[in-house]
A and B are shown apart, each in its own frame.
Chain A
Amino acid sequence: MSLDLFLQYLFAGITYGSIYAIVAIGFNIIYNTTGIINFAQGEFVMLGGMIAISLLEYLPLGYAIAAAVLITMAIGALIEMLFIRWLESPSVLRMIIITIGISILLRESALHIWGESIRSLPYFYGNEITTFNLGSVHISPQVVWVIVACAVMMAGLSVFFRSTPIGREMRACAANRTAALLCGINTRNMVTLSFMLSAGIGALAGCVMSPITYTQYDSGTSLAIKGFTVAILGGLGNSLAAVAAGILLGIIEAFSVSVVPLAFQDAIAIAILLLILFVKPHGIFGSSEAARLKDF
């Protein structure tokens, strides 16, 4: 394999990987405060993209994205208040099924609102064929946007969780819900907040990746499966690990193209993941103690 080709694969892998990683971060935020996996996370990504595209008729790009993120956050909060908030210590399986139900409802509503056709936001910089050249490797500026968005989100979240009072309360809630409650933290509000936060992150991800991947009413499902895979692979609850795992998965996928037919790409990538999972049952970066705390 020539160096050029190697680099092209590497960048393709990083592109896929950052997309998976942003979705996985959304999973982790809700998982951390509630211990549940929100299978509607992929739909937040889809909604963010769709709403921004619809608003683009009335607003400039930046405002449309901002508004889409806010609207999706409101939807996230609404979903939490309608379906989750008033349940008394629901079992994890029950929550899985409810979030699967929510994801089906969101997807089908999107089909009835926006139809089955594909849409996309315009490229933030340049157009479909603009590229930067890094040596002999061509990179679309939108890929840079995705990677930057991923990095900014990670930095932002880390500052938020470490240095703001609300962030610290959310972390307390994640570490031990009962203790947090005893300290006077309104854990219910923290859960609502975590839904808003992850909906917002999902929506932003949906906007940034829309020019590359396009947005369709059912694009959330496959993203959710990939995001879930990555979150598990990294070790649930650990966002930094999710980014690493996402990029690892992306790179495995990209390089697998060079050895096996593309049609088997997913089968190969997931088989490798399962093998990793069998050796490290709590994810590459997860520890068994941390996982035990949140087992069901």
Chain B
Amino acid sequence: MKSSLSHWVRAGAVCCLLLGPALSPALAGTVKVGAIFAVTGPASFLGGPEARTAALVVEKINKAGGIGGDTIQLIVKDSAGSTEKAVSFAKQLIEEEKVVAIIGPSTSGESMAVKKVAEDGQTTLISCAAADVIVNPVARYVFKTPQKDSFAAQMIFEEMRRLKIDTVALASGNDGFGKAGKEQLEKLAPAFGITVAASETYDSKATDLSALVAKLKANAAIQAVINWSVVPAQAIIAKNMRQAGWRVPLFQSHGFGNIEYVRAAGAAAEGIVFPCGRLLVVDALPAGHPQKALLGQYKSEYEAAYKEEASAFGGYAYDAMNMVAAAVRQAGNDRAKVRDAVEGLKNFPGVGGMFTFSPEDHNGLTIDSFAMMTVRDGQFVLYQGK
């Protein structure tokens, strides 16, 4: 080895340190908010809309004069859906950027990994992942905006009871969303007198599920299928079921709340029943509905800015960002007070529903935040029962 090597070692190390973003002390009049989203990588269909929505919200607040004259600086970190990056970024945001709160991460695995970092760093974390375990048991600094999986499972099972369905098959994606849903479904089914005859997990990159459909169809006892995922497989399973000539009802999760999947499944999407937040059916809401104005506003702003339909995923970040803004408006640029202010939010209108947090409930939503929907003529409509 050459002795000049050590020069290079040193030079390289110094370069590394210099290349990092220069240390920017909190400027007077700036409130720093961190965001960890899976903008790229396998969970990008969550992180992408989330990051775009958060940027939109911040831009709007800043245009309107910021919070009491202070502008919000949103620092978005792309975790690409990987745990180790999320942990690294959370530490960076808390210790180095000294953010007042963090929104995200997009997936439940990352959220669980980051939970302890947020607790240790005493910084509010508002997760945009669905799994119940993130806020159950309650951690002091950790909140989440998506509706609980257990509510969605309950609504599906209630509808099944009305339809006199008692034996079902579960299919779920092998990502955090699918895993959390599968757990809730399996846990709650006995309470509704429903038998889970088969439970299968497919790859979230699955491109065809006809073999799985053939296997499930061969079991004549199965009266309905519940599919739980956020990936394109939601459209694929619908297609494969109809292609196989299998006519049992297909229920999906709130992950289906994205018009893209309806388009992808085409004729096969007709009649799929799923619970979701009311963003998808905003036009059908009665005029006095407390969320109507807000939903309409988010939808039109997002669609004008990005030329794509707003989905429930972006809504998670919309609520998280607005909660942080509301808390800062109330408590100032102070981590401890912001946490208390978030926990104190009552009847806060969001895309996901009306949030009412308490020390025992860091999700803040009730089962009423969901409505059952279905697909008719390629559009989402409120489900009226069969």
Q: Is B one of A's binding partners?
A: yes
A residues apposed to B, CB below 8 Å: 2, 5, 8-9, 11-13, 15-16, 19, 108, 111, 115-120, 127-129, 131, 138, 140, 209, 212-214, 216, 218-219, 222, 253-255, 257-258, 261-263, 265-266
In whole angstroms, what is the CA distance A218 to B40 when docked? Answer: 10
In whole angstroms, what is the CA distance A171 to B200 when docked? Answer: 47
Kindly count the residue-residue contacts between A and B in the assembled complex, taking CB atoms under 8 Å apart: 101
Chain B residues in 8 Å Cβ range of A140: 243
Contact B208 A212 (CB under 8 A): yes
What 9 pairs between A and B have smallest CB-CB spacing? A213-B207, A8-B214, A116-B44, A128-B266, A12-B211, A263-B201, A129-B242, A12-B210, A254-B211
Contact A262 B202 (CB under 8 A): yes
Contact B208 A117 (CB under 8 A): no
Contact B201 A262 (CB under 8 A): yes
In whole angstroms, what is the CA distance A62 to B48 when docked? Answer: 32
How many residues does chain B have at the interface if contact means C-beta atoms less than 8 Å apart? Answer: 36
Contact B235 A214 (CB under 8 A): yes
Beyond the given pairs A12-B210, A16-B208, 19 more chain A to chain B contacts, judged by CB atoms under 8 angstroms and listed by A's residue number, are: A5-B215, A8-B211, A8-B244, A11-B210, A13-B211, A15-B210, A115-B48, A115-B308, A118-B235, A127-B267, A128-B242, A128-B267, A129-B268, A138-B244, A214-B232, A219-B205, A258-B215, A263-B174, A266-B203
Chain B residues in 8 Å Cβ range of A262: 200-202, 212
Say how far B359's CB is from chain A's closest CB, in angstroms.
37
Contact A214 B243 (CB under 8 A): no
Contact B207 A257 (CB under 8 A): no
Chain B residues in 8 Å Cβ range of A261: 200-201
Of B201, B212, B218, B243, the contact of A131 (CB 8 Å cutoff): B243
In whole angstroms, what is the CA distance A257 to B216 when docked? Answer: 10
Contact B267 A111 (CB under 8 A): no
Chain B residues in 8 Å Cβ range of A19: 207
Contact B239 A12 (CB under 8 A): no
Contact A117 B260 (CB under 8 A): yes
In whole angstroms, what is the CA distance A96 to B198 when docked? Answer: 42
In whole angstroms, what is the CA distance A194 to B63 when docked? Answer: 54
Q: A115-B48, A257-B212 are in contact. Are A214 and B245 (CB under 8 A)?
A: no
- Near A by CB (< 8 A), chain B positions 167-206 give 174, 200-203, 205
Q: A118-B260, A129-B242 are in contact. Are A15 and B308 (CB under 8 A)?
A: no
A-B contact pairs, 20 of them (CB 8 A): A5-B218, A9-B214, A12-B210, A12-B214, A19-B207, A115-B308, A117-B260, A117-B308, A120-B264, A127-B266, A128-B242, A128-B267, A138-B243, A212-B207, A213-B207, A214-B264, A218-B44, A219-B207, A263-B202, A266-B203
Chain B residues in 8 Å Cβ range of A258: 215
Chain A residues in 8 Å Cβ range of B45: 116-118
Chain B residues in 8 Å Cβ range of A120: 264
In whole angstroms, what is the CA distance A209 to B207 when docked? Answer: 10
Q: Does B142 contact A (CB under 8 A)?
A: no
Most chain B CB within 10 A, of A131, A213, A219, A262, is at A262
Q: A115-B308, A117-B45, A129-B239 are in contact. Are A5 and B214 (CB under 8 A)?
A: yes
Q: Does B236 contact A (CB under 8 A)?
A: yes
In whole angstroms, what is the CA distance A153 to B264 when docked? Answer: 27
Residue ID in chain A nearest B265 by CB atoms: A128
Contact B267 A12 (CB under 8 A): no
In whole angstroms, what is the CA distance A195 to B364 when docked? Answer: 56
Say how far B283's CB is from chain A's closest CB, in angstroms.
22
Chain A residues in 8 Å Cβ range of B174: 263
Q: Does B42 contact A (CB under 8 A)?
A: yes
Most chain A CB within 10 A, of B40, B48, B211, is at B211
Residue ID in chain A nearest B214 by CB atoms: A8
Contact A111 B242 (CB under 8 A): no
In whole angstroms, what is the CA distance A5 to B239 when docked? Answer: 18
Say how far B160's CB is from chain A's closest CB, in angstroms.
23
Chain A residues in 8 Å Cβ range of B264: 118-120, 214
In whole angstroms, what is the CA distance A253 to B265 when docked? Answer: 24
Chain A residues in 8 Å Cβ range of B217: 8
Most chain B CB within 10 A, of A111, A214, A255, A263, is at A214
Chain B residues in 8 Å Cβ range of A131: 243-245
Chain B residues in 8 Å Cβ range of A8: 210-211, 214, 217, 244
Chain B residues in 8 Å Cβ range of A265: 203
In whole angstroms, what is the CA distance A19 to B207 when docked? Answer: 10
In whole angstroms, what is the CA distance A140 to B174 when docked? Answer: 26
Say how far A239's CB is from chain B's closest CB, in angstroms.
22
- Near A by CB (< 8 A), chain B positions 232-278 give 232, 235-236, 239, 242-245, 260-261, 264-268
Chain B residues in 8 Å Cβ range of A266: 203
In whole angstroms, what is the CA distance A13 to B207 when docked? Answer: 12
Residue ID in chain A nearest B202 by CB atoms: A262
> Digit string of B344-370 for contact with A (CB within 8 Å is 1, else 0)?
000000000000000000000000000
Most chain A CB within 10 A, of B45, B243, B266, is at B243
Chain A residues in 8 Å Cβ range of B218: 2, 5
